[in-house]
Amino acid sequence: MRILDNMENCYGCGACCNVCPAGAIDMKENKEGFLEPFIDEEKCISCEKCKKVCPSVNCLYSNDPEPDIFAFSAEEKILYNSSSGGIFSFLAEYILQAGGYVVGAAYDSQFLVNHVMIHSIEELDKIRRSKYLQSATGDTYKKTKELLEMGEYVLYSGCPCQIAGLLRFLGKDYDTLFTVDLLCHGIPSPKLFREHLTNSFDGIGNIEDVEFRSREGWSTLFQVKLKNGEVKTAYNNKSVYMKSFLLDINLRASCFRCQYSKLPRQGDITIGDLWAAQSSNLSFEYRKGVSVILLNNKKGERLFQDTLSGSGHQFQMQKISGKGVENPINQNLLNTNIFYPSAINSDIAKRRKFFEDCSDMGFESAVYASLHKFDVGLMLFMSNNYGSIATNYALYRTITDTGRRAAVIDNLVVIGNTARDFVKKHMNFCSDFMEKGDWRAVNQCFKTFVVGSDLSWDWIMNQWSRQPQYMMLGFADKNKRMISYASSFGAKKEEKDIDEDARVLYTHYLKRFDAVSVREDYGVEMCRKLFDVHARQVIDPVFICNQEIWSEVSASSQVEFDEDYLLAYILNPLPYKRKAILEAAQNLNEKLVVILDLYEVNYEANKRAMAMDENIVKPDFIDWLAYFQHASYVITDSVHGIWFSIIFKKKFVAIKNRSRERFDSLERLIDYPGLFFEDSMSLLGKTNIFADIDYDVVYQHLETSRMESENWLRSALDVAVKPKSDVESVKVMERLFRSLHEKKELVNKIKREYSYEEEQKKSIREQLNAGKTWLEVVFTRNQIVPEESKLRGINDIQEYFSILQNKTDYVLVLSGFDECSGQWKRFLEVSGLPLRADIGWRESYAAVVDRGAVKVDEKSKGEININYEFLAGFPKYSVEYVDGELRVGCRPLRYCKIKVKSKGFTGAMGACRSEILVDNIDYSMNRIGINIVVIDKETGNIMDSINVNTYSDPSLKINRV
């Protein structure tokens, strides 16, 4: 038995299941993941109560067709925990405080949504906020009826179809029942939601919470909080799940013709977002959330009034439509689902195709197939460079001209800002519908990936300037077709030019490709020799695309070309190059136009080097093409400057620039004499540097390569996907390489630090050899003006410490280095310092004596680190009476921070150390024995720094050098 002839009309409300007296009906997920009734024929008694309560069969409308409508916004602390204006919290709290019950939607541990019944305010948070999923009502209809029969208050909230199901189930009105229906866009599949969470966040078990609306303001965000504390956020227009929901392909079939998204409404009160707030002339601040409220009957009006009058919370409210409103809101601005289903004009056939695709390719891929329908994802090296823009646009056009839809994967690799100005108008981009860095979404959208031309792989020898896992498609799943077209390594490189660990990683990347082609002939050899990969040389995309596109693009230029000119397109200005260009323009008696590299970092420097401000223009890409098209002659040091000279059949001179091998490769391909020059000096002194070019011959040479390259690309786009390592193995390789790379960076850092330290030591040795004391070196290096000190002129140890004992306004800091115990007891006898005598062989030792009092006196077999602080000086006040005023002065005190380190011969390799840092400057001589720094307690200034070799010098000589 079936309750409905067409189960696409079922709302999944569960009224039939709750009413069945035989328990013959279970609510189960259908193949699309929506709940619908399944009937056990053996238990069924054919009473047909299920049909009588079905809201799809029995539609009743008893509420006001023209309800009063309000805008409502609660205080901020309630808004923070609400989806919109917080009215549900007000209503629920009122019922709960009256001892009643509230029914609403809550997540379970698996992020399924179920209707639950709560009886305390402490439970309220779990049924707050929007959950864009179908909620299972379970047995809440039965429980609600039981409570109502007992006279209990119940507030039941849900979608309008669920409220309709409840009312048909109950069969009569109850004074203590209050119903709230939600403005519902439609119900998406819970099954697909769980699939999305599993696919995109490595399993539901990793997820702490899901929010469809951010608590930070009134935002349209899909936010997932992971158990590791990470928060993943996507705007609705870039969340694959939210797009499937908002564009209706993931909705229940009955939502397309919902009988309850209209007036009169089913609930006593209807609530939702007032999306028209900005146009509603509201008298209060609404940008953190505002609800729209429909009071559909007298019971709803009474509940609303009682709730607000009994609430202890602040709120703002404004009636925007209904009785007594002088300037009601335009009904057309209100939420459409007040009046009719949101999906009423959507294509239900597209929705059916989407669910079929979900079974074949998975949820995310089905969304992209339904909404975007892209075939090829382009990974492009697109810098702020005219040639880069041209070659990437050419590849895009060549692929789309085969009938495939392509999009640039700019959410993984950034595109130059200047380049965007043109390409954004002429190409599709993933960043328009994907979040930055979302490589999973990229895999879900495309079956084929193509790495583009220009310097796509030039940076691989500089490992992490661009991430090779993107430009070498390391993120691509193993079932994807992976192609490179005319990718370039830049300059020719040998095995010695690449780190072995990097070579292994890149080999792993490139072996996953189904077809590899490179732009330069030496790139073929590099692939074979360095990476053991077969590659094919192909021609630059600017020449394989339909050549008419360049004239079409340049035709939109607004530049007026009213005279002949010599065009110099120069990337690397040099004095002789400048001279050759000026000389050529003079010999031709032509106007000179100069275009420089578009890259902003170099532009001003190049402009100064060229020193031709009156001739330099800075066109956009379209005008750049037009300048080539209309030029009489061209001088260039750019590979793409050469290509467009050929495309527009200009007389040109090519000056080989940096990465000369690229020019050599192109010269061999063109195979025409007199066009390429090794440097600009060879152009000087010649009356005519422009050879006559037979373009029939040039094009004849190039046509074979062009056709072979085009055929190679078309074939590669259909090549069978070969077995390859999955993305997880690539991640392991990448992590290994990163680890090795970080270790090498650490070694290099240590080397740099060691080199710097050696330079510093050399400088110090030179100053000491020149007769300076250690303390003088420290003062000089730290730009300290030393205070006069009688101590620095005393070399006899008894006299030295006699002065210190007679004048106690000193702080002495002592630190042992290596071994200081051999003559330690004798040192104590001579110095008279009241310090411990039991220092052991090669133990660490540190002490602080402040104005004769021992503050620190430590020894250790390990390293010692001491912090000591004091105020230098003594408070001094002055009071005087001047010009009828009492003036009080106070000298400020100086706060001194001391750090002491002592490391004796404590390890197998020694590694001894003595440091005495005063205000972060190390004054210790760091020599064997005991190192001493004397600080004036009155000023905080350093009086002296000495070393006494208490290890092996019985004379206890004072050392300062």
Mean predicted confidence (pLDDT) in 953-959: 93
pLDDT at residue 898 in the model: 93
Q: What is the pLDDT of residue 465?
A: 44
Q: Element (H or E) spanning 655, and its range?
A: strand 651-655
- For residue 622, pLDDT over 60 is answered with yes
Q: What angle do CA 346, 348, 352 make, to 5 degrees?
A: 140
Q: Is the pLDDT of residue 464 over 60?
A: no
pLDDT of residue 168: 98
Question: In one letter, which amino acid is 848?
Answer: V
Closest CA to 816 of 960, 924, 931: 931
**Cβ atoms 163, 140 nearer than 8 A:** no
**Position 540, amino acid:** D
Rounded Cα distance, 61 and 164, in Å:
9
Residues 6 or more apart whose Cβ sits within 8 Å of residue 118: 96, 101, 102, 103, 104, 124, 126, 127
Average pLDDT over residues 898-925: 83
Tokens 């990974």 correspond to 379
Residue 180's nearest CA partner among 79, 63, 35 is: 63
Whether the Cβ atoms of residue 628 and residue 651 lie closer than 8 Å to each other: no
Which residue, 382, 383, 902, is CA-closest to 602? 383
3 state DSSP class of 393: helix
Arithmetic mean of pLDDT over the chain: 90
Across 723-743, b (16+ Cβ under 10 Å) vs e yields ebeebeebeebbeebeebbee
Alpha carbon distance 409, 448 (integer Å): 12
Tell me the per-residue pLDDT of 792-822, one tens digit each, with 9 for 90 and over.
999 999 999 998 888 778 999 999 998 899 9
* Dihedral sign for Cα atoms in the order 748, 753, 757, 763: positive
Sign of CA dihedral 641, 647, 652, 655: positive
**What would the two tokens of residue 175 be?**
């004074």
**Separation between Cα atoms, residue 33 and residue 927, nearest integer Å:** 78
- Is the pLDDT score of 501 beyond 80? no
At residue 872, φ and ψ (nearest 5 deg) are -85, 135
User: Using alpha carbons only, how large is the chain's radius of gyration in Å?
Assistant: 41
Per-residue pLDDT for 402 more than 80? yes
Q: Which two tokens stand for residue 428?
A: 């599709």
pLDDT at residue 877 is higher than 80: no
- Sign of the torsion formed by the C-alpha atoms of 530, 531, 537 and 542: negative
pLDDT band at residue 725, thresholds of 50, 70 and 90?
confident
What pLDDT was estimated at residue 909?
A: 46
- The percent of residues in the chain predicted with pLDDT above 70, rounded, is 92
pLDDT at 159 over 70: yes
pLDDT > 90? residue 754 = no
Q: How far apart are CA 628 and CA 648, in angstroms?
A: 7
How much is the pLDDT for 68? 97
Both structure tokens of 521: 């002939």
pLDDT at 461 over 50: no
| 849 pLDDT more than 50 | yes
Per-residue pLDDT, 573: 94
What pLDDT score does 799 carry? Answer: 92
The predicted-structure confidence for 711-723, as pLDDT tens digits, reads as follows 999 999 999 999 8
Cα separation of 702 and 152, whole Å? 88
* Each residue's pLDDT tens digit, 48-92: 999 999 999 999 999 999 999 999 999 988 888 888 889 999 999
Question: Which residues are 570's β-sheet partners?
Answer: 596
- Packing angle between helix 824-831 and helix 797-806, nearest 10 degrees? 50
Averaged pLDDT, 145-154: 98
- Distance between CA atoms of 949 and 928, rounded to whole angstroms? 6
238: Cβ contacts below 8 Å, ≥ 6 apart: 433, 434, 435
- What pLDDT does residue 805 have? 84
Does 877 or 595 have the greater pLDDT score? Answer: 595
Region label for 151, one of left (φ > 0), alpha (ψ between -120 and 50) or beta (otherwise): left
- 532, 600 contact by CB (below 8 A): no
pLDDT of residue 459: 59
Q: What is the distance between the alpha carbons of residues 170 and 15, in angstroms, rounded to a whole number?
A: 9
One-letter amino acid of 368: Y
Contacts of 661 (CB under 8 A, 6+ apart): 491, 492, 520, 522
- Please, which residues have CB within 8 angstroms of residue 489's CB and are 6 or more apart in sequence? 457, 458, 460, 518, 520, 523, 526
pLDDT computed for residue 914 by the predictor: 92
pLDDT of res. 69: 96
According to DSSP, residue 251 is labeled B
Cα torsion through 262, 267, 269, 275, rounded to 10: -40
Kindly report, residue by residue over 322-334, the tens digit of the pLDDT: 998 988 998 888 9
Nearest of 485, 698, 680, 723 to residue 574 by alpha carbon: 680
pLDDT at 638 (0 to 100) = 95
Burial label for 599, CB within 10 Å (0-12, 13-18, 19+), is: middle
Residue 466 has pLDDT above 50, yes or no: no
- By the 8 A CB rule, do 574 and 684 touch? no
pLDDT for 462: 43
Angle at 588 between CA 583 and CA 592, to 5 degrees: 70
pLDDT of residue 908 exceeding 50: no
pLDDT in tens, 343-397: 999 999 999 999 999 999 999 999 999 988 899 999 998 888 899 999 999 999 9
Q: Using CA atoms, how far apart are residues 921 and 616, in angstroms rounded to an integer?
A: 54
> Does residue 463 register a pLDDT over 50?
no
Q: Which residues contact 380 (CB under 8 A, 6 or more apart)?
A: 392, 395, 408, 409, 410, 413, 415, 451, 452, 454, 456
Cα dihedral 514→520→521→526 (10° resolution): -60
- Return the pLDDT at 870: 86
- pLDDT given at position 219: 57
First to last CA, the chain: 105
Q: How far apart are CA 638 and CA 833, in angstroms?
A: 78
Residue 134 DSSP class: P
Identify the pLDDT of residue 713.
98
Q: pLDDT tens across 638-666, in order?
A: 999 999 999 999 999 999 987 788 899 99
151 by Cβ neighbours in 10 Å (0-12 / 13-18 / 19+) ranks as exposed
How many residues are there in the chain?
Answer: 961
**pLDDT of 266 higher than 60:** yes
> What's the rounded Cα separation, in Å, for the pair 419 and 417?
5
pLDDT at residue 655, rounded to an integer: 96
